[in-house]
């Protein structure tokens, strides 16, 4: 790993050059950040859990023909992924009002939306990832009309699928954030799901108690962040308590 070329370091992940030209290695860190990096901490084992959780979800999405950048998990913290040109838009899908939606518009926290809302944010830390409209995306060429249609259609399918999937595990999928990229093949591009899907970028509430099982535990200082992520991993069946303990002992 030491000789590998680091191409990009984000808040929670690092991208290294992959073994082939059109691949990358995605490394999951234990770093947690919130409020655009203003709040920071290390959550031991978070990277391992997110690697396994995201692997499972990306694999399930592939099973229903959602194109994703995930190729395979390499080890406890790394995945081989397709190299994409990232579209600079964060797509947020909401089923229940909470978070910034509630703050911005004064909607009642926990209100079940009459249908899912898809929002777009410009990926730009310096500007604090501002909310943008479809018009902004098209006029400023962040994505083409065809790409935007594809992004909306994929996001909606992903939401329908994941809502049911988590529901079967007694978890309510409140909202989540997706990122997409362009994959180049023979001078043509297609839109592919990128990044990760994990408790870092989803809001997951226990169906019966509404207990938060996601990064809001860190954002809101609710404690037991690692326990919540483990709970999600166990419910998804990706990592047993014993396996996780072994990993953490040898890995850190
Ligand atoms: P929000 O309510 O703060 O706008 O967040 C909506 C969803 O997007 C929530 O599931 C958390 C996720 N999210 C990220 O993954 N990264 C971010 O930088 C932000 C602000 C939200």
Residue 226 within any structural domain of the chain: no
200: domain CATH number is 3.30.470.20
Give the residues surrounding ligand 1 with Cβ less than 6 Å away.
92, 99-101, 129, 175-177, 201-203
Please state the rounded mean pLDDT for residues 40-47: 96
Distances (CA, A) of 11 to 8, 39, 81: 10, 11, 18
pLDDT of 18 above 90 = yes
* Smallest CA separation from ligand 1 atom 2, residue: 99
Tell me if 61 sits within 8 A of 193, measured CB to CB: yes
pLDDT tens track for 120-167: 999 999 999 999 999 999 999 999 999 999 999 999 999 999 999 999
Distances (CA, A) of 92 to 132, 157, 161, 182: 11, 13, 15, 18
Residue 139 within any structural domain of the chain: yes
Please choose from 37, 53, 99, 166 the residue to mutate so as to test ligand 1's pocket, defined by most ligand atoms within 8 A of CB.
99
CA separation for the pair 195, 152 (Å, rounded)? 17
Please choose from 57, 91, 92, 105 the residue to mutate so as to test ligand 1's pocket, defined by most ligand atoms within 8 A of CB.
92
Residue 112 within any structural domain of the chain: yes
Least confident of 107-116, 174-183, 242-251: 242-251
Residue 163 within any structural domain of the chain: yes
Interval between CA 202 and ligand 1 midpoint (Å): 7
Interval between CA 187 and ligand 1 midpoint (Å): 34
Phi and psi at 136, nearest 5°, equal -60, -45
Interval between CA 94 and ligand 1 midpoint (Å): 10
CA separation for the pair 150, 144 (Å, rounded)? 10
Sheet (strand 6-9) strand order? 6-9, 13-17, 23-28, 78-82, 70-73
Residue 225 within any structural domain of the chain: no
From its phi and psi, is residue 162 left (phi > 0), alpha (psi between -120 and 50) or beta? alpha
Domain count along the chain: 1
- The ligand 1 atom at the shortest distance from the C-alpha of residue 98 is 2
Q: Compute the residue count for the chain.
A: 252
pLDDT tens track for 203-214: 999 999 999 999
- Each as own residue / partner, the long-range contacts of residues 222-228 (CB below 8 Å, 24 or more positions apart, any chain) are 225/32, 225/43, 225/46, 226/43, 226/44, 226/45, 226/46, 226/49, 228/199
Token pair recorded at residue 212: 């938060």
The range of the structural domain enclosing residue 141 comes to: 85-206
Residue 214 within any structural domain of the chain: no
> Greatest CA separation found in the chain?
52
Residue 158 within any structural domain of the chain: yes
């Amino acid at each position: 790993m030491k000789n590998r070329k680091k191409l990009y370091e984000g808040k929670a992940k690092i991208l290294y050059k992959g073994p082939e030209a059109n691949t990358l290695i995605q490394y999951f860190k234990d770093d947690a950040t919130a409020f655009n990096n203003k709040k920071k901490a290390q959550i031991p084992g978070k990277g391992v859990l997110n690697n396994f959780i995201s692997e499972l979800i990306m694999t399930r999405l592939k099973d229903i023909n959602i194109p994703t950048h995930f190729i395979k998990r390499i080890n406890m913290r790394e995945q081989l992924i397709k190299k994409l040109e990232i579209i600079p838009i964060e797509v947020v899908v909401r089923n229940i009002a909470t978070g910034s939606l509630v703050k911005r518009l004064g909607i009642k926290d926990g209100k079940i939306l009459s249908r899912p809302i898809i929002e777009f944010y410009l990926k730009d830390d310096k500007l604090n990832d501002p909310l943008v409209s479809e018009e902004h995306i098209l006029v400023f060429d962040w994505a083409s009309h065809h790409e935007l249609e594809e992004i909306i259609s994929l996001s909606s399918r992903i939401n329908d699928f994941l809502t049911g999937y988590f529901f079967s595990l007694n978890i309510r999928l409140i909202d989540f954030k997706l990122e997409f990229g362009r994959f180049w093949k023979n001078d043509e591009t297609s839109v592919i799901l990128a990044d990760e899907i994990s408790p870092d970028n989803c809001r997951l509430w226990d169906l019966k108690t509404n207990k938060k099982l996601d990064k809001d535990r860190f954002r809101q200082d609710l404690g037991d962040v690692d326990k919540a992520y483990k709970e999600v991993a166990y419910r998804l069946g990706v990592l047993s308590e014993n396996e996780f303990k072994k990993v953490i002992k040898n890995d850190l």
